Structure 1
Amino acid sequence: MAPLEEAIGYKFVNSLLLAEAMTHPSMAYETQKPHFDNQRLEFLGDAVLQLTVTEWLYQQFPGFSEGEMTKLRARLVSGAALARFAKEIGLGQYLMMGKGEEASGGRARTSTLADAFESLTGAIYIDGGFDEAKKVLLNVCSRQLEHIANEPAEVNPKGQLQEQLQAIAPQSPIYQVVGESGKDHCKVFEVEVCWLEKVLGKGVGKSKKDAEISAAKAALEAKSWA
C-alpha cells in the first residue's frame, strides 16, 4: 500500500485501517467467513467529506446562498465525482475483493470506487484526525475545487436554451441527429436543434449528448428566434 500512501500524501500509523478501507464486502461473501470490510468506514468517510466540502464552500463563496452552495456541494460529492477522484490516485488497483466481483468489472465500477474513496477518507480520519483527512481531501480534489472556484455556475446550454425559448412559447426545443460519420469506435454525430419548425443551431460531437450541447451553444449565440 506504500504507493497509495505516497499518492495521497499520508502515511498511516495503523496500517490495518488502510487494509480495512480497501476491503470490498465481496471478500466475506465469497469466503463465507467473517471478514471486515469497508462499509463502516464508508459511512464515516461520507460525513467527513460532506463537512470538508461544506466548510470549503462556506469560506470560498461568502456571498452565496444556502441553495447555491448545496448545488455546488452536490457536484463535488456525487458518486461520479468521488469515482473520478479515486481514479486519479489509482484506488481501484489496491482494492481487495472477491474473484467474482473482480471478474464482473468491480474494480472499475463507479459505485465501488466512490465507496472506496469514502472509506479511505474515514480511515484517515480515525488514524490522523479531521485536519489530516481535510488536508488529504483538499489535495486530492484540488483540480476540481479550482474549477469550481473559477466557474461556480454549472454551464448548461440546453437548460439555458429551453428556459429562454419557453419564456416566449411553451414548446420545448427538439434535438435530432442529422448525420453520423467515422468508425464505430470513434463516431462523430451531427445534431440540429429545432423549435417551432425552425432550425436554431447545429453542432457536432463524439456522442449525441455532446453534439446536442454544441447545437444548443450555437443556438444561444445565434439567437435567431429573437
Structure 2
Amino acid sequence: MESRELTDISNVIFHDVGAIIHSQQVLAGVHAELDKNQFRPFEQDYIYQEHYGTIPSQPRKMVINGVTITSRVLHQTGIGLQDVNGADLLYEIEGEKFGLIQYKRSNTRGVKGDAEQLQKLLSNCPEKCIHFKRRPIPKDWLPLKTNSFCGAWYSVIDENGEQKFVHACEAETIFKNSQSVQNKEFDFGLSKSTFLELFSSCRVGALVRIPLDKRVKDGYLESLLANHHLIFEIVQKGKWSVK
C-alpha cells in the first residue's frame, strides 16, 4: 500500500469519527435542554400535564421491527419557548443514533418555510456531510442518497395528514430564496412509515457510535487479516462536551 493511499483512507476514517463525535455533542446539548425543561417546566407544560397527564418533552417509546425508538417533543421546549436546535421532534435509538425533525404544515397555496429555523436545524450537520459543505446543493442532485450521518430532517404534512421527509439540506435547496413553494416540490420525500423503517434499520439518522459487528465474535476479523485487509481500531476515552 502506498503511503498516500494510507493517508487518504485514514482521512476518511477520521472524518467518520469526527462526525460521530459531533453528533454526540449535538445530542448531549439536546438532552441538556430537555433536562432543563423536565426540571423547570413552562406554564404551557403544566397545562398539557393537567390535560394529558404528562408534559410534552417526556419520552414516548415505539417499537419498529423489534427496535425501540424513543421520541421527545422539542417544539417550544427550549429557553424562551424556542424549538430546541431548530427541531420539533427528536427520534432516538438510545446509545446508537438520532434524528432531529422539523415539521411544516402545507395548504392549498403550498408550504411556507422558516429560513432562520431551517438554518438552526442545518447547524447540527457534521462536516462529514459533503452535501452540507457544498451548499447550496444543485437541484438536479435531488433526491440525495440516504446516509448514516444525517440527523437533520424536514417533514411536510399535507392537508390529508400525509408526511414527506427530506434531508434538511434538500429543503434548503427547494426553498432557495423563496418564502413558500408548491407542495409537489416535496413529492420525492420519504413517507413516515418508510422513514421509520429506515431509521430503525440504521440507514438514516446520525450515528453516535458504531455498534460492534456480531461477526467479530465469529472470527470475522481474523479472516479479513488473513486476506490482507487493513483494520483500524478506534477507541474513545472520556466524555464529550455539550455543544
TM range (shorter): under 0.3
Quick check: which one's strand share is greater? 2
Quick check: which one's helix share is greater? 1
TM-score (normalizing by structure 2):
0.24
Q: Pick 1 or 2: higher relative contact order, CA cutoff 8 A, min separation 6.
A: 2
> Which has the higher Rg, Structure 1 or Structure 2?
1
TM-score (normalizing by structure 1):
0.26
